[in-house]
Amino acid sequence: MRIRQLREDASFRARVHFYDGSRLFLSEDLERINEREMRRVEFTFHYQSADGSLIFRYDDTAHYPDLPTFPSHKHTPDGVIAAESPDLTDVLREIDGILYP
């Protein structure tokens, strides 16, 4: 895990390995609003199987403007769908549901 303070902003990167070999790659860039508040500027939560196949990826890259949750969306093996911007807790709960159905 790497957290880097960039003057007033912060960058968070981590790789999480699960017991079945699946992995979560996450990235969040934050900017300082004031002394006590940060705002997420950009994010990616990429979850893949042990063989590298996509299970899901949430991100906010602005390349699906027709989705109602633009710029936030979710990549699945079947394509891209509208999805609200999750936080790490949401993503870990989703992975928990996959690992322990």
Domain count, the chain: 1
pTM of the model: 0.86
- What's the pLDDT score for residue 11? 85
d(CA 57, CA 80): 9
Q: Where in the sequence is the domain holding 89, given as residue range(s)?
A: 2-99
Instruction: Inform me whether the pLDDT recorded for 2 exceeds 70.
Output: no
Q: What tens digit of pLDDT does each residue of 5-49 get?
A: 556 678 889 999 999 999 999 999 988 888 778 888 899 999 999
Determine contact, residues 47/91, Cβ cutoff 8 Å.
yes
Contact 59, 29 (CB under 8 A): no
How far, in Å, are 10, 66, 82 from residue 4 at the CA level?
6, 34, 30
The encoded tokens of residue 47 equal: 């979850």
Element (H, E) at 82: strand 79-82
